[in-house]
Amino acid sequence: MIGFRQRSSDRKYGWCHRSNVIDLFSHILPSSPIVEVASTLQPKHFSYLTNGPKYVSPCQSRFSNGTIDKIILREYNHIIQSFEKGLTKNCISASDQRAKDFFTDIENLLRRLHTNILPPKLLARAQYEHRIMKSTRRQLKKSNVIIRITDKSKVFHLGSVQDYHEKALQYMQDTNAYREITSGINPCHDHVQTVLALIDPMLKKREINLELWKQYMRPNPMTTELAHLYFIPKPHKIGTPLRPIVSSIKAAATAVSHFLDLLLRPMFNRVTKETTFINGIDFVRQMESYRDSGRLLPTTLFVTFDVSNLYTMIPRDGAIFALQKFLYKYAENRRVHGMTIDTITRLARLVLDTNCFVYEKKYYQQIRGGAMGSPFTMTLANIYMWEWEYPLIEHQKMHNELYGRYIDDVFMTTNLSIDQIKARLNIAHEQDENIRITCTIGSTVEFLDVLVDNNQGQLKTSVHHKPAAEPYILPYLSDHPRHTHRSTVKSQLLRAARLCSHVEDFDRERLNIEFILLLNGYPPKFIAYHLKQFFRKNNALSMMEELDEVVYEELHRKLLYQSTRRERQEQQQEVIITDGNPHENSNNNDIFIHFTFETGPMLKMNTQPSQVGTAPIESITMETNSEGNLNQILPDELVILSQSSIQLNMTNMIPSQVPNIPNPTITHQNLTEDELRARRREARRRQRQRRAEPRRQARAPQQQQRNQQRQERRSEGRRRRERYQRWQERLAERRQQEYDDSPRYEYRSRWERRRETI
């Protein structure tokens, strides 16, 4: 039997369909792109960009450069691979006849759904958005503009390439964390050899835990690429500074960085559990525990401070020393999962030594801190901060006060005077020249997404919205499964109920949530229904009629101490690392299949179990994945320079749209001007072929029909010529026969006739 996750019927509850909401909410803009440069974009282009990075246009496969056969084959292979793994886990061969028949039914269903005609209204909307997207690409190519996603508000930011270039160079000069490789040689090949020279002997001697190490973590010389640097704007700060991000997905030591993070982060979390905030919910839990223990007094002050440029300012040698000290102190028998401290230290140095990247066609090495984007960087920075904050933690314990940190943001409670706590913070500030802090002291402070207030010894917490935050969530018109929109409403209400300690604050936040949902195109009936479902599920339906403090207190306490999804994931990760058997308690008869979601005929993929026959397994659940978001489907090249001295570089593109860096393992050859022109001509020819391919595919049915008609005309002409030739032959034979049968006179010469006459 196959179980599919079905969508709720919109008409059953009187909800508006997405296509019906377009005209109703198209004039409402939940968030606008932040524009700091002149461009040629028109209002319709800005209106399209207001959908935000999360927005997914409908029916993208209908406008894909690939053929329908390729799309179907990709989806089919993805689904079949999941099925084969599940069948193998259940001791069923994929070559079984039942499995083969089932796979055939899946392929037929995919082909039928992908080739069905779209409804006219949906097709018109998809075509319009596709034209707007292509027009946006063309307009951006005409301007000296760079587009990015902002750091906090998560909306689009349009800025000048010249401005980005100047700020990037200024950041490098201020931090002194980067050094240019003056030789001009791509270091990627050397990095691969360095990593392999260290990893292979360790694997051979079993110095690395083989249960955590996976085969794909070994770098492949043919697919490894050098990292590249790009910047994310922070428009909520004065001057719109930039945050550097090193994209090292295919770098040589990225897998080693993942391995170290997987190895050390659970250990660090266990050691620092009492002084680490997981998120805002965990912060509220510890604050209420602090209050319930009787330590919150009317004179209690709250202290928050953040560390500037933590990742790039920590010294490398100091970070390695802090790592060794941490492992010597907390590692059992000076080993972590059977690995010695020396082995871990060598791997950590390897990650830091190979931290190189390309920026504006130049190669750089980071000589301070770690790359923001490398998984191990956060763990190493946390360990370095743990070494720095340990005296401050002991000071707080001695005064029976609360201390907690979330990466580079710290929260403390104190009953000392303001002068005394400032003096203690000055000592911490001068403790390490690499750590610079900016503090705030008061009875009401903001920490993470929580506003905490000490009102004469009464604790009050509520949701804090940063000034840079935009009223933007996943738009209702986005091509996502309906359960995603339901989860959006539920998650917003859960967050409000967990963070707000008083019913008035919760009611105010509920109204704010409804306003944000309306701005993002959610129908009022949809919002009202799921709001009622939220209260009914949590046995607090009376709150829709009257704000009851007692009922809300029970609701708040119940939801606050429920495990969040992140906490469940971390617990599961610890079980995997500790036991090495993540599927011990899972049902082996369950197979979870993910397929690409798309509005239109593909909606029937998970609502027609009868179309795919019967699988040789008891329970199968099919889930959906949305297509790429607006950030991923925007132009391949969002920036083109018009009469500018700055050349096109890696930071001028969204990270997912960075051009491929040539494989450094291939020996570089200096090309002549003629060879370069020949390569450019060949590239342009291939580009024309790629652009013409969709048109050829669109004209293929008509061309095939014309060829068939031409062939039929040729065959008919051949048959006519053959009939005419046979008629000519029969006519010649008949004439010859008539001639032979006609009477003839005997031929006599003139002399014979004359002689007879005489």
Domain ranges of the chain: 191-463
Q: What is the 3-state secondary structure (H, E, C) of 190-225?
A: HHHHHHHHHHHHHHHCCCCCCCCCCHHHCCCCCCCC
pLDDT of residue 4: 31
Distance CA 183, CA 181 (A): 6
Q: What is the model's pLDDT at position 414?
A: 92
Q: Among residues of the chain, what percentage have pLDDT more than 90?
A: 14
Mean pLDDT confidence for 395-411: 90
618, with CB counted inside 10 A (0-12, 13-18, 19+), is middle
Q: Which two tokens stand for residue 114?
A: 């992908």
Q: Which of 118, 126, 107, 242 is nearest to 174 (CA)?
A: 242
- pLDDT for res 526: 92
Confidence band for 453, pLDDT divided at 50, 70 and 90: very high
β-bridge partners, 358: 228, 363
* Residues listed for the chain: 758
Cα 323 from Cα 331, distance rounded (Å): 11
Residues 255-293 have pLDDT tens digits of: 888 889 888 988 898 888 888 898 889 999 999 999 999
Q: State whether residue 54 is helix, strand or coil.
A: coil
**Strands lying side by side in the sheet with 619-625:** 3-4, 619-625, 590-596
Answer yes or no: is pLDDT of 20 > 50.
no
Residue 634: its pLDDT value, please? 37
Q: Which of 11-20, 46-55, 365-374 has the lowest mean pLDDT?
A: 11-20
Cα distance between residue 460 and residue 20, in whole Å: 42
DSSP characters over 608-663: -GGGG---SSSEEEEEEE----HHHHS-S-----SS-SSPP-GGGS-GGGPPPPPP
Q: What distance in Å separates the CA atoms of residue 333 and residue 349, rounded to the nearest whole number?
A: 22
- Name which of 69-73, 204-208, 234-238, 669-673 the model is least confident about: 669-673
Residues 376 and 382: their CA atoms lie apart, in Å, by 10
pLDDT of 149: 84
Q: What is the pLDDT of residue 566?
A: 73
Who wins on pLDDT, 207 or 33?
207
Q: What is the predicted pLDDT for the residue at 585?
A: 46
Residue 497 and residue 448: Cα distance in Å, rounded? 16
User: Any idea which of 172-181, 244-253, 489-498, 617-626 has the lowest mean pLDDT?
Assistant: 617-626
Burial zone of 690 (CB within 10 Å; 0-12 exposed, 13-18 middle, 19+ buried): exposed
**Which tokens go with 560?**
């606050």
Distance CA 593, CA 109 (A): 15
pLDDT at 23: 41
- Angle between helix axes 375-398 and 254-271 (nearest 10 degrees) is 20
Q: Is 580 helix (H, G, I), strand (E, B) or coil?
A: coil
Task: Determine how many CB atoms are found less than 10 A away from the CB of residue 216.
Answer: 9
pLDDT score at 29: 60
Q: Say yes or no to pLDDT of 575 above 90.
A: no
Query: For position 609, what pLDDT does the model report?
Result: 46
The amino acid sitting at 39 is: S
**Nearest residue to 358 via CA among 57, 653, 48:** 653
Q: Of 12-21, 486-495, 707-716, 747-756, where does mean pLDDT reach its minimum?
A: 12-21
Q: What helix, strand, coil percent values describe the chain, rounded to 5?
A: 55, 15, 35
| Count of CA atoms in the C-beta half-sphere (13 A) of 552 | 21
Which pLDDT band, with edges at 50, 70 and 90, does 580 fall under?
low
What confidence tier does 742 reach under pLDDT thresholds 50, 70, 90?
low
Our measurement of the distance from residue 206's CA atom to the centroid of its chain's CA atoms, rounded to an integer in Å, reads: 35
Convert the pLDDT of each residue in 144-159 to its tens digit.
788 888 877 778 888 8
| 8 A C-beta contact, residue 556 and residue 498 | yes
The Cα–Cα gap between 571 and 565 comes to: 10
Average pLDDT, whole number, for the chain?
Answer: 78
Cα 307 to Cα 313: distance, rounded to the nearest angstrom: 10
Q: Provide φ and ψ at 652, rounded to 5°.
A: -90, 10
Higher pLDDT, 371 or 521: 521
